Amino acid sequence: MRLLQLLEATSNSTWYHGTPELQKISEFEGRTLSVDYLTDPEKWMAIQDQMQKVESGSDEYMDLIHAAGNLRQHKNVRSPVFLSNQYPIAKTYADDRRAFDYQAAVPGVIPVEVAPGNTLTINGRGQSFRGITIDSVRQGLSQAGIDEPTINREIAQFTHQLRGDGDKLSTNSLAAIVDELGFDIIDVTNIKDNYMGGGPPATVRMVMNPSLISIKERVPGMAESFIRLIEGKPMVGYKVMNYDPRTGTLTSGRDARQKFPLKKGYTMNMPGNGIYMSLGKDYVVTYYSGLAENEVLIEFSFDPDDILFGNLTDRETEFAVSKATINDYEVLESDEEFDEGMDSGNFLSKDLSSGPTIYPVPQNSREYENIDSPRRGGAKVRVHGNKNS
């Protein structure tokens, strides 16, 4: 239920791009596609009529086929980037089985913002996004101020490629029309467009000018994680753990026998289900702090190949890795009064609006005298969480 509420509360300024090969997208670059069009639609139609009147396979018939073929030409137009205003719909396209290199593919959903541009709006009328009805395109172009002769000329170029019952344009044909007319964005509203062609009606945004697109950081660390993943850099995740201020040791919440030194650069290994964490720092502080009297927020670096289960592309990521290295940390103390009987079930119902406070790490431990403290001389060391970390 909570995920559905988050999805419903998604800002209208956020769009989603689902891809089976996340690692190939460092940015949305300008690409072109080749479209087949008619240089003289009226002549092409006349030839089609004439072909119905002559014997199939005759010399005259073959001459007509050749003449019709000469009227078909190719041109390059800007290739649109397809976005959805609904995360679940975009996620249906994030399937590594669609990737060219299935084994190396990293599927994912990228949240983006789109700067304003010359926008054409077309009502999809609740249909499946397997072609757009000519009537819908005509109406959208007319409302955008395009005159009727120009609309007729543009649509006629693609008479030979109509879909359905001859009343639909392909998305490539639509892209060619709007590119020639100078539109930057096409919003197809009220259209069903999950990967199988169904799903609830939503809006598909076709962005002809990719320079208008910028990655948006919906969940703390999400955009940074995509960039790190694409560039092959270590990923960054966060976890709250029990902390003993007397010895400077960490204790596993699942198995109190597992203890680890709180030290930058230390690589932690956890047998069994591994180390649970999230890409979102605020997320783990909100939902996983306050379960023990002494806690520390840890920033880990990890290799995606070490993920045991979980998905980095979920809106609120939770996953486990076999090993991870401590980058930095921040000791936390919940404003809630600690209750020995508190568990995750009743903790989540408590008010966390006041957030955590910070207190210094004692420096009198002999066993771990070289611990890097988050505070030296009263100055708090800031946990890395920006795009340069």
Q: What is the pLDDT along the chain (389 residues), one digit of tens a residue?
A: 233 333 333 335 789 888 887 766 656 777 888 999 999 999 999 999 999 999 988 999 999 999 999 999 999 999 999 999 988 888 888 877 776 666 666 777 888 889 999 999 999 998 888 889 999 999 999 999 999 999 999 999 998 888 767 789 999 999 999 999 999 999 999 999 888 777 888 999 999 998 898 876 543 334 455 556 555 567 889 999 998 888 889 988 878 888 999 999 999 998 888 999 998 888 898 888 888 888 999 999 998 778 888 877 666 788 899 999 999 999 886 444 433 333 333 323 233 333 333 333 333 333 332 333 332 232 222 233 333 33
Give this prediction's pTM.
0.55
How confident is the model at residue 254, as a pLDDT?
A: 79
Instruction: Identify the pLDDT of residue 365.
Output: 33
Predicted confidence at residue 313, as pLDDT, reads 60
What per-residue confidence (pLDDT) applies to 381?
28
Do 132 and 119 contact (CB within 8 A), yes or no?
no
- Tokens in use for 334? 């919940």
Written as one letter, the residue type at 157 is Q
37: CB partners within 8 A, 6+ apart:
72, 73, 74, 75, 157, 158, 176
Tell me if 37 sits within 8 A of 134, measured CB to CB.
Answer: no
In whole angstroms, what is the distance from residue 310 CA to residue 320 CA?
7
Sign of CA dihedral 261, 266, 271, 276: positive
